Amino acid sequence: MRHAGFTWHDGALLAQGLAVSLGLFAGTFLIGLVLGSGAAVVRHFRVPALGTLLHTGLELLRNSPVLVQLFLVFFGVPALIHQPLTPVFAAGLTLSANTAAFVYFIAVAGLDAVGRDQVEAARAFGLSRVQLVRHILGPQALAFAVAPLVGLAVNQLQVTSLVSVIGVVDLTKAGDILNLRTLRPFAVWAMVGVLYFAAAKTLTLLGNRWERRLRAHAAPLGL
């Protein structure tokens, strides 16, 4: 039996869905940030074969729909390995790989923006590749890439809504469940939209604050 009114259980359901969406976003964005940045460093140092292979794979991920990637992982991979994947694992794997693809191209642009003369000078002073990335390339590339990364983070937060189609009870799925029970689509989806907006706006404000602090520290160095 469907009830027309809202109860406190509905608020708990939306809060739980929001927590799942935020947790999935935070975990996959962090993994994608590490993987994408690492792939960009491999490409920057022109590692034979591996750099080309990574670039090709990440190019495919960047230029294909996330929903198709999600279906490929959730339905296609189990057919190949004869082992089912849980919805959360499939969603995490897909979003991490997709995020890595976009981070890779942002990081490549940031690394390419660093003058080659600085790299050559650092090598002349005997800095290792690890020291070069940590002290020269990393800080300057981050200063160039921070704004695109904030924009990417907001976009990837919104992309998490797609995981509801494979059964993950995120904020969108919670809204769908609530809509079916109350039969009040406008009110339900308005609430869901407001929660996504609040989360995205908070992320944007934090990102902009981080960008200002980073640029303030980089300005005396001429970055």
Under the banding of pLDDT at 50, 70 and 90, the label for residue 59 is: very high
Q: What is the pLDDT of residues 68-98, one digit of tens each?
A: 999 999 999 999 999 999 999 999 999 999 9
Q: At 221, is the pLDDT very low, low, confident or very high (cuts 50, 70, 90)?
A: very low
Q: In the prediction, which pLDDT does 111 show? A: 78
Chain mean position to CA 171: 17
- Are the beta carbons of 98 and 69 closer than 8 angstroms? yes
Between residues 114 and 161, which one has the greater pLDDT?
Answer: 161
Cα-based angle 79, 163, 176 (whole degrees, multiple of 5): 125
**Measured at the alpha carbon of residue 13, what is the angle toward residues 8 and 15, in degrees to the nearest 5?**
95
Using alpha carbons only, give the angle 182, 185, 190 rounded to the nearest 5 degrees. Answer: 115
| pLDDT classification of 213: cutoffs 50, 70, 90 | confident
Q: Is the domain covering 8-221 a CATH 1.10.3720.10 domain?
A: yes
Closest CA to 191 of 206, 178, 204: 178
Q: Quick one: which of 175, 186, 199, 158 has its CA closest to 16?
A: 175
Instruction: List the one residue out of 6, 185, 167, 187 whose CA is nearest residue 87.
Output: 167
**Residue 213: CB atoms within 10 Å:** 11
Give the global pTM. Answer: 0.85
User: How far apart are the C-alpha atoms of 112 and 5, rounded to whole Å?
Assistant: 57
Which own/partner pairs from 147-151 qualify as long-range (CB within 8 Å, at least 24 positions apart)? 147/211, 148/106, 148/109, 149/33, 149/103, 149/106, 149/207, 150/203, 150/204, 150/207, 150/208, 150/210, 150/211
* Domain ranges (residues) in the chain: 8-221
**41 vs 151, residue with greater confidence:** 151
The mean pLDDT of 127-139, rounded to a whole number, is: 66
- Residue 165's Cβ-count burial label (10 Å; 0-12, 13-18, 19+) is middle
